[in-house]
Structure 1
Amino acid sequence: IFSNFSSACADDISYRDKYGLPCASYEGAICYNMGFVGFSKNEVSMLMSRCPSTCRLCKCEDDPMFRDPIGLTCSVHQRTVQLGSKCDDMVAIGYTRKEVKNLKENCPAACGECE
């Protein structure tokens, strides 16, 4: 599940945890459960406050300014998804995996990535 990467909900690129790891190291982790692997309450709180995007704490909204490599907006992709396609299917028509990842990060609602 991806979250909006707007400036209001961006990870702090200077953040490093007690092991020297950046926010990106926690992609896919359930941040609030990091206490089970040795983080203190303060460390969990710091991780969640400084890495809101990675910790999936942002509202799931599409970036209205986003345009994919051929200029399509999230709303265009949303119509495609409503017709039965998936954002992951864009690889079949020439998008790179990196472009699909970027699409899903910027258009999580359109791509059906929200809980």
Structure 2
Amino acid sequence: MDCTDDINFVSTFGLRCKGYMGWNCENLIFVGFTPKEQDYLIESCPYSCGLCGKVTRKLPEPTSYPTAVPTGIPTFNCVDDISFRNRFNQGCDAYNGIVCEGLSLLGGFSKDDVRYLLKKCPKTCNICIDR
């Protein structure tokens, strides 16, 4: 794999490669990326994703029918935690209609804050995978 970022790359969320430095790009499917979007990011931004010299794996394409054997991707109920309150004392409903993944680009939200919000408010943040 060539270890340079594509300077023309822009993700679905409007971020260039540098916006993904420090993220585990191989797990972005769990925060709303489709498998194709994740693969495209990994191929386009190996340097920013910290994948130089590493062998990456592509996720298999989803099947259109149930599998006989469980898959490695965990499933979860797409329900917000009604008891959730962040450090600003806001619940999930405060983020309705907002691209939660981009909040770390604004002041006041760390990447850990965003990850926790996505975990507690998957429905509001629109990261649920339709089955």
TM-score range for the pair, normalised by the shorter chain length? 0.3 to 0.5
Q: Which structure carries more relative contact order (alpha carbon 8 Å, separation 6+)?
A: 1
Between Structure 1 and Structure 2, the one with more helix by share is: 1
For normalisation by structure 2, the TM-score amounts to 0.42
